A and B are shown apart, each in its own frame.
Chain A
Amino acid sequence: MGKGKTLFWLIPALLIIILIPPVTGSVTTREGVFLILMYVTLAVSLNIILGYTGYVSFGHIVFYGIGGYVAFYLMKFHGIHLIPAMIMGGIGAAIAAFALGEAVLRLRGAFFAIATIGVNEAVKALVNNLNFIGGAEGLFFNFRIYNTYGGATKAIWFSYYTMAALTITTVIAAYLIKKSKFGLGLMAIREDEDAAIILGVNAKRYKSLAYAASALFPGMVGAVFFFKAGNIEPHDAFHLIKSIEMIFMVMLGGYGSVTGAVTGALVYERLKGFLLVNPLFKNLHMAISGVILLLIVLFMPQGIVGFIREKSKKLREMLE
């Protein structure tokens, strides 16, 4: 167990990526990097429950949607600033996860995965029918809201920096969790839940807390994303495909490793970008991603970073 060796290079590397758009002033690059940061945060968060604890949360996007709705509602109807609204959104998602966790985390393996899909679809159906938050049509911002931030252009830059700060925070938090007592308990649950319990790990509580932690940051991501978009609707907020993308990123990079989740997010963003602009593949990108996921699970279940960690003892501490 290295002492923070991973963060010493990972955080500067992320900062360099974050600084590219403001330095070049390119709006296109900013949009690309915003997407990367969003993916990184989602993948690193999902990794806490999927990679550390070994529970495949298939409908994880539900927390992004919940956080998005909570924050959007507060900003639109109560004029609350993005930052507190985002924090409230994150906390809302985390509380929802904790409560759900007490129920669905009793299930193991595929049953848990299916239950989480059900939760996502149920919440989507519920939101579709709640008129005070716009029902199926969703909610729109009045553009005056952006005046608080100095106009729409500045508001978008503001959301960019907020996302950047959120990403860095998430990566550091995920790393600290992994290195803590709590993280070791989670990994023990992943390896053998019965053995973990007999060794004194309060598995039920640990799992619920891990689920809450892995929902907190996606909730905040949802808040920032929908603030920037200016509208939110159930179909966007609880889009199951995004859930699958998150799992893909974690598995591609290497589950259980912070560096792995970050790598998976970066590679996926590039891959998706390539496939979407290529006329030959643009309608097939999910199919191709699916085939790649299958190949990873069959031949390299530890993912890219996990593979390198296995091969090189020297790099292991750098790639936690």
Chain B
Amino acid sequence: MSQQFSYEIAHLIGATQLMAGFGLLYQRRVFAVLNTFAFQALALAAAAAWQAHVQHAPHLYVTAAIALLFKALAVPFALHWLVEKLGIHRTVETALSIGWTMIVGVALVALSIMLVLPVTAAASALTRESLALAMSVVLLGMLMMITRRNAVTQVVGFMALENGLILAAVSAKGMPLVVEISIAFSVLVAMTVFGIFFFRIRERFDSLDVAYLESYRGDRS
């Protein structure tokens, strides 16, 4: 198996993840967002497993397993349960229309390509592509957090962002396992915090629209 081929497969998986990132922006139903997110995490697991196979780095299999178990299964199920439990409105509430979000998304991808190209001029084209992909996924995650009003979709945006980080990490050779595990745990903690947070704001405002929190900010004079 040639080096070239292994990179091509890696990039294809990365691109799948990017497409899923766009899919997240495109969906209008909360459940569809969760499914798309699960799909993205699955792609991440595949990317990690493929890198483990190619780099002969068994610890990346652990990363893949973590991604699969936590992000592709546990988190979507938990959020699914939360949405049902809290009786949240099933449509995604957007701050910016879906068409415009996608246009901004494409602009962000172009931006990350532009940024990555000069920085990594010395590196091979293949590393550049992985970096550009990962960075795009991160930026799309951020975009999702900004343009969606509902707290659940914001959490998904955060997770998607983190998917991009891990993608960058597995693509670069030699990231220690410790980092991965700590990231995975931090995600779990974040997930738990968000979960509690949901219950709290839900109790208080009868909604998960974070705009309601605005009027309770202390620093407004």
**A joins B in a complex:** no
